[in-house]
Structure 1
Amino acid sequence: MHSTVFERRRPDARIIAESLAGSRLAPFWLDDLPERATLPALQGTANCDLAIVGGGYTGLWTALLAKERDPSRRVVLLEGKSVGWAASGRNGGFVEASLTHGEKNGETRFGDELDTLTALGMQNLDEIHATVESRGWAVDFERVGSFAVATEPYQVAELAAAHDSETELFFDADAMRAQINSPTYQGGLWSTRDTALVHPGKLAETLLTACLDAGVEVHESSPVLDLQAQRDGIELRLKNGARLGADRVALATNAFPSLLKRYRLHTVPVYDYVLMTEPLTDAQLASIGWQGRQGVADSANQFHYYRLSADNRILWGGYDAIYHFGGRIRPEYDDRRESYEKLASHFFTTFPQLEGVRFSHRWAGVIDTCSRFCAFHATAHQGRVAYSAGFTGLGVAATRFAANVMLDQLAGETTERTSLDMVTSMPLPFPPEPATYPAVQSVRWALDRADHNQGTRNLFLRTLDRVGLGFDS
């Protein structure tokens, strides 16, 4: 089998060990925020027009947009821990226009409406950009685009074919290395408009502030145990015994088990691992260039994503995607030494000139993976409950689109959004355990084999492609 560049150019084990020594097991984005008082848990019994379960981006956007649509409605948001602590505070901060986890995935699954989905995705990103500017949000928002880079020769042709001389610009190996200096690069494609970068923690906190200013009632430490349909609405029962009645409910729990049992097999929680360096010196930054500050992802099935922070740290994540038997989500899974060592090794293969740089933070986050690799949307209880999940790691922008979908659905409106096949159709559920674990491991093994075989997909992956379960990053 063909070895990858990350195997051919492994750095010395000493370099890896020294780089990780002293790193803090915590998301940098949350560590970088000022402390604030915890918002009080919901107590007793209350009623509202709209209840939102989940205090990540999906829930926060839903709350804010709901108040923009109708400032008079009473909106209550319930978060089980603290706002933004999960995926919304642990992601890479890539604000992508795509609603379909990339064009190829969209073409495979929604080919007839891909142009519409592409336009709606770009409109959604433009509206986020406009909101950030008009409201003066200090969230380190940079509309810089992103590079897809080839680290193996076989990946170059596909990137070159996407060049359009306008918004998709191809760079050969020398030109790519002049942009960002890595000996691993064989070429690259700069998508100039469809990606922005943001500080994820600042975005979550700023959305929270905007919600509170708009009159949304937000309760932290308020985990919801279940929901039940009543004659005149929906009742949410909380772990502490509190109860909240609502005319309408939006569920934004993403990777965590759905309060609607029928959808609990539609997502599986997959752990993604991330490193953040200390701030680079001027000399270190000059050694890699990167003057355009674009986001970067390489082109294998098992890919890395990386970017510069506002203070010139490098965030480096991806590659490993770890599923634990039973879909368990546990704090101890955050500290996976072999994943961090692998990421550090690949980092110094990509940027050998940065030997000696240390990682200040390491962390993990759970991705709500579904079988079609982009969000799905559903309603229940005669349209009183709406649900969006399954973003599969590309949800920073798509959560806002999902919020508008849920609000359209809860209002009983037929809109361009609610009429999309992407919205009206559902992905296939995953099999229950004990079948899920070996199935996920088989897909990981096959994708790794493809990366070691010039990208050639074996019979197993081709079969998954034919039945609509295939993945191509």
Structure 2
Amino acid sequence: MNTTIFERQAPDPRAIAHSLEHVRSAVFWTEDVPERLRPRRPPLRGETTADLVVVGGGYAGLWTALLAKERDPARRVVVVEAHRVGWAASSRNGGFCEASLTHGDENGERRWPAEMPQLRRLGMENLDEIEAAEARYGIDFQFERTGQLSVAIEPHQVAWLEEAAAEAHADADAVLLDRNQVQATVASPTYLAGLWEQRTCGMLHPALFAAELARAAEERGVEIFERTQATGIDTPATGDVTVSTDLGSIRAKHVALATNAFPSLLRRNRLMTVPVYDYVLMTEPLTPEQLASIGWRDRQGLADLANQFHYYRLTRDNRILFGGYDAIYHYGRRVDGRYEHRPEAWERLASHLLTTFPQLEGVRFSHRWAGAIDTSTQFAAFFGHARSRRVAYAAGFTGLGVASTRFAAQVMLDLLEGVETERTQLEMVRRRPLPFPPEPFAAAGINATRWSLDRADHREGKRNLLLRGLDAVGLGFDS
């Protein structure tokens, strides 16, 4: 069995301990948003009515509410959120806003090959609309159209990059970098080659994005209620839908479900996603000398090509966010705050960052956190409607929802309105993925797959029988 670069060039354990000495468990993004942009909204008490109820106050729910008001300013739109706006994945992600609606071209080509030119175009149009949203709505979420740099950190990955470069579509504005070129761009001794797709990704501030979407929605008349747990949905044969909450109920013509990693109010979707926990570290702001030592002047989002991959980026004040690698599923499909505490994950991330940038030895981490990703078996969002088109849903973004939640919001509104659009005619939208099996089979299968992906990273990318079998039935996944 081979070793990976992170094992061959592991830093001194004392350097790891030093870097984590003063880290605390808190989400940097949330703390970085001014309180005036995160007002505490009251819960919904008693009974009320609306034209559209949106369940979930993350990106998908906020986009749905905002775009619904744009389509029909007269309709009453209500959002109910069990915690606070953007509390879950929408404030805990890395801020990579990617054009892909299919979790990368390879995943899309495997599942919807005939639609990929159309899906690429729709994804780029969607990203362009997000970039324009700051000016359109008079908001600021620190958007930078930097693109993303994928880096090879093992010899076998260089060929993967060359193949990806040959297949890159023109809109990506892709540049293949050899070893010297990539290290001149970002100075890591681990980089053997790079592919910089300059137009397909932007960086943004995740919690600020959620806060500003909420502000834009409220300015257009959307009502948002926090600390309001949706507990059930009742749809009689005809007439309005009733969403029950812990403190009351809402009767509405239409309901959009944007609960993502949390249990769906529709029984049919209970097995469609599983929550997988992702872990993140944030450094203190780099000194000018530290930043100069790594270059990174173009501020791209970065990711390596391992199956268990890392993603990392610079913040506006030049901190490094470093996350990924571990993706942990816990038996029972539960979203539980206890799963967010995993010291070994943060120690591993600290070690891997110091391997990537040994010149940063002495840097300290200020924040550590974790969150649940809503994973589907097709590794991209799925969509649908229920109860005579009175209910629509989207879920399963699998860690690539920052941009695609806007597309999902448009799809849900199309489905509720019963209109045929380019979006609703897509096979990607019309076809549901396979559900995950119930326990104990889900845990056994997911953990066996994760073990196999780790083994592939230690065998020059060679996939074992389990991974090849999943590939054959359309359930395979590459980072």
TM (normalized to structure 2)?
A: 0.97
Q: How does 1:379-418 map to 2 (within 5 A)?
A: 379-418=385-424
Distance 2:280 2:273 in 1: 22
Structure 1 position 289, deviation (Å): 0.2
Which residue in the other structure is 2:222 paired with?
216
Task: Give 5+ residue unaligned stretches, structure 1.
Answer: none
Distance 2:313 2:75 in 1: 40
**Does the residue aligned with 1:29 lie in a helix, a strand or coil?**
helix
Distance 2:199 2:406 in 1: 18
Which residue in the other structure is 1:229 paired with?
235
Structure 1 position 195, deviation (Å): 0.2
Q: How does 1:9-158 map to 2 (within 5 A)?
A: 9-35=9-35, 36-158=38-160
Of residues 227, 238, 251 in structure 1, which corresponds to 2:245? 238
Structure 1 position 162, deviation (Å): 3.1
**Does the residue aligned with 1:83 lie in a helix, a strand or coil?**
coil
Structure 1 position 26, deviation (Å): 1.1
1:280 counterpart = 2:276: no
Distance 2:39 2:183 in 1: 46
Structure 1 position 202, deviation (Å): 0.6
Deviations 1:71-127 (A, max 9, x none): 000000000000001000000000000000000000000101011000000000011
Q: Which moved more, 1:36-45 or 1:348-357?
A: 36-45
Deviations 1:128-162 (A, max 9, x none): 11112333322111001010000001111121233
**Does the residue aligned with 2:325 lie in a helix, a strand or coil?**
strand
Which residue in the other structure is 2:323 paired with?
317
Distance 2:19 2:390 in 1: 51
Contact between 1:272 and 1:320, CA under 8 Å: does it hold in 2? yes
Which residue in the other structure is 2:455 paired with?
449
One-letter identity of the residue aligned with 1:22: H
Distance 2:271 2:137 in 1: 39
One-letter identity of the residue aligned with 2:64: T
Structure 1 position 255, deviation (Å): 0.2
**Does the residue aligned with 1:84 lie in a helix, a strand or coil?**
coil
Which residue in the other structure is 1:291 paired with?
297
Contact between 2:137 and 2:216, CA under 8 Å: does it hold in 1? no
Of residues 434, 450, 470 in structure 2, which corresponds to 1:464? 470
Distance 1:347 1:336 in 2: 17
Structure 1 position 396, deviation (Å): 0.1
Q: How does 1:411-430 map to 2 (within 5 A)?
A: 411-430=417-436
Q: Which moved more, 1:303-312 or 1:152-161?
A: 152-161
Task: Give 5+ residue unaligned stretches, structure 2.
Answer: none
One-letter identity of the residue aligned with 1:116: Q
Contact between 1:227 and 1:237, CA under 8 Å: does it hold in 2? yes
**Does the residue aligned with 1:373 lie in a helix, a strand or coil?**
coil
Deviations 1:318-355 (A, max 9, x none): 00000011012111211100000000000000000000
Distance 1:367 1:377 in 2: 17
**Does the residue aligned with 1:157 lie in a helix, a strand or coil?**
helix
Which residue in the other structure is 1:354 paired with?
360
Contact between 1:162 and 1:168, CA under 8 Å: does it hold in 2? no
Q: How does 1:425-444 map to 2 (within 5 A)?
A: 425-444=431-450
Deviations 1:348-387 (A, max 9, x none): 0000000010000000010000000000001100111000
1:6 counterpart = 2:12: no
Distance 2:244 2:453 in 1: 42
TM (normalized to structure 1)?
A: 0.99
**Does the residue aligned with 1:297 lie in a helix, a strand or coil?**
strand
Contact between 1:162 and 1:170, CA under 8 Å: does it hold in 2? no
Distance 2:39 2:412 in 1: 30
One-letter identity of the residue aligned with 2:159: A
Question: Identity of counterpart residues, as a percentage?
Answer: 58
Contact between 2:261 and 2:335, CA under 8 Å: does it hold in 1? no
Distance 1:160 1:463 in 2: 26
Structure 1 position 434, deviation (Å): 1.2
Of residues 162, 174, 180 in structure 1, which corresponds to 2:180? 174
Which residue in the other structure is 2:311 paired with?
305
Contact between 1:384 and 1:410, CA under 8 Å: does it hold in 2? yes
**Does the residue aligned with 1:325 lie in a helix, a strand or coil?**
coil
One-letter identity of the residue aligned with 2:70: E
Contact between 1:272 and 1:365, CA under 8 Å: does it hold in 2? yes
Question: What value does the CA root-mean-square deviation take over the aligned residues?
Answer: 1.0
Of residues 373, 383, 403 in structure 2, which corresponds to 1:377? 383
One-letter identity of the residue aligned with 1:215: G
1:340 counterpart = 2:343: no
One-letter identity of the residue aligned with 1:91: N
Q: Which moved more, 1:133-142 or 1:392-401?
A: 133-142
Contact between 2:139 and 2:216, CA under 8 Å: does it hold in 1? no
One-letter identity of the residue aligned with 2:136: S
Distance 1:189 1:34 in 2: 36
**Does the residue aligned with 1:162 lie in a helix, a strand or coil?**
helix
Structure 1 position 459, deviation (Å): 1.1
Deviations 1:386-434 (A, max 9, x none): 0000000000000000000000000000100000000000111001011
Which residue in the other structure is 2:196 paired with?
190
Distance 1:135 1:181 in 2: 38
The number of aligned residues is 472
Contact between 1:145 and 1:196, CA under 8 Å: does it hold in 2? yes
**Does the residue aligned with 1:326 lie in a helix, a strand or coil?**
coil
Distance 2:158 2:122 in 1: 29
Deviations 1:169-197 (A, max 9, x none): 00011110000000100100000100000
Structure 1 position 163, deviation (Å): 3.0
Deviations 1:198-232 (A, max 9, x none): 00011000001001100001000000000010331
Distance 2:105 2:381 in 1: 14
Structure 1 position 21, deviation (Å): 1.5
**Does the residue aligned with 2:467 lie in a helix, a strand or coil?**
helix
Which residue in the other structure is 2:213 paired with?
207
Distance 1:464 1:326 in 2: 22
Which residue in the other structure is 2:337 paired with?
331
Contact between 1:154 and 1:454, CA under 8 Å: does it hold in 2? yes
